[in-house]
Structure 1
Amino acid sequence: MANLSVCVYCGSRDGSDPAYAEAADALGRGLAERDWRLVYGAGDVGLMGRVARAAQDAGGETFGVIPTHLLQLEVGKTDLTRFVVTETMHERKKVMVMNADAVMVLPGGAGTLDEFFEVLTWRQLGLHDKPILVLDIAGFWAPLRALVDHVVAQGFAGESLLGQVTFCTDIEAAFDALS
């Protein structure tokens, strides 16, 4: 797919396994090499900053969205192709998804989980039909996959929920899934 816009959710920290940072770098580079635009949280810290810098270094287009209250904490990356400041987190998440054709989830913390579950819920409710790919780098998201399976097994979601998320063990598999 040419000119695809991919929303990337990920941590504002690097995490403890160097594989996470390597994956963020590879994702940013890979997006740029495919001429796909990065849509992300506009921070210049952690995996967020790594994805954006790698995309920029490879000549890629970057679209960042950050709420006012996180400009300092997440070190708002103002040298992006497009830099949008919102008033709230809710607005940030909406703008990110509205400007993307697909969502990829790298390792991250509570914020990343919040973004993942919100975009999954929106898809479950029919508010969008964009692909959601979880990049299970070094097994990081194995507990999340087990949780989603458990929710379905315990009758709190239909089997269709399992088809709304694609778990990939590496960046290339995620790119292949979107191509």
Structure 2
Amino acid sequence: MKKICVYCGSSSGKGDAYLAAADKLADALVSRGLELVYGGASIGIMGALASAVMERGGSVIGIMPQALMRREIGNDHLTELQVVDSMHERKAAMADQSDGFIALPGGMGTFEELFEILTWAQLGFHNKPVGLLNIDGYYDHLIQFLDHTVEQGLLRQQHRDLLRVQQDPETLLDNFLSEPAPLLDIWIERTSQL
């Protein structure tokens, strides 16, 4: 495992907890020699995370669509900033270039990215770990909702278990490094057909 993609807000949120979590995640990434892949913004939690990794001597790849370069203030103080044509291309590039995925607190874009990468795992398109950093209970209701979908028979427990939930970045990254993503039946079936 060499690169971790982090989905998070282009806003900072209320209080200091989310920015502090980004700083702690930066420490955890750099101390393990892991490169950050993220959405390329210089603002919000995204910008704080990227800056913290760079300040600690880590490596950061930002990927941003041309249309968002001005709106999200593309960060040109990275190891590498890739400018792509569309959001679809951005998400595909982030997925292709990463060995694991983490969501910090964020809004609609973070939710969409998280659920897309989980869906891709469920369908067997990748076999990489996916984690959620539940900072100050930010994702409590989402976690409860996912458990509810299992109870209601609309989500299998094995697919719910694809999402690893932790409050501490170091614990989550250590989990990624020590326990590879589970091989789902669909993944085994897909790879056997290649």
TM-score by length of 2: 0.88
Residue 119 of structure 1: how far off its partner (Å): 0.3
**2:134 aligned with 1:129:** no
1:110-125 map, 5 Å: 110-125=108-123
**2:175 aligned with 1:177:** yes
Listed as ranges, the gaps of 5+ residues in structure 2 are 178-194
Higher deviation after alignment, 164-173 or 98-107: 164-173
**2:15 aligned with 1:24:** no
| Alignment counterpart, residue 34 of structure 2, candidates 27, 33, 36 | 36
1:92-103 map, 5 Å: 92-103=90-101
Q: Which structure: larger Rg?
A: 2
Q: Matched residue of 2:153: which SS?
A: coil
Q: Is the 8 A contact 1:33 1:58 kept in 2?
A: no
After TM superposition, where is structure 1 displaced by more than 4 Å over at least 4 residues in a row? Answer: none
Question: Could you tell me which amino acid in structure 2 is paired with residue 135 of structure 1?
Answer: L
1:64-79 map, 5 Å: 64-79=62-77
1:128-169 Cα offsets, whole Å, 9 max, x none, are: 011001000111011111111111111112111122010001
Q: Matched residue of 1:7: which SS?
A: strand
TM-score by length of 1: 0.96
Question: Could you tell me which amino acid in structure 1 is paired with residue 170 of structure 2?
Answer: E
Question: Could you tell me which amino acid in structure 2 is paired with residue 116 of structure 1?
Answer: L
Residue 152 of structure 2 is matched in structure 1 by: 154
Listed as ranges, the gaps of 5+ residues in structure 1 are none
Residue 64 of structure 1: how far off its partner (Å): 0.6
Between the two proteins, what is the percent identity of the paired residues? 41
Question: Could you tell me which amino acid in structure 1 is paired with residue 52 of structure 2?
Answer: A
- Paired with 2:73 and 2:14, the residues of 1 have a C-alpha distance of 21
- Paired with 2:135 and 2:22, the residues of 1 have a C-alpha distance of 10
How many residues align? The count is 177
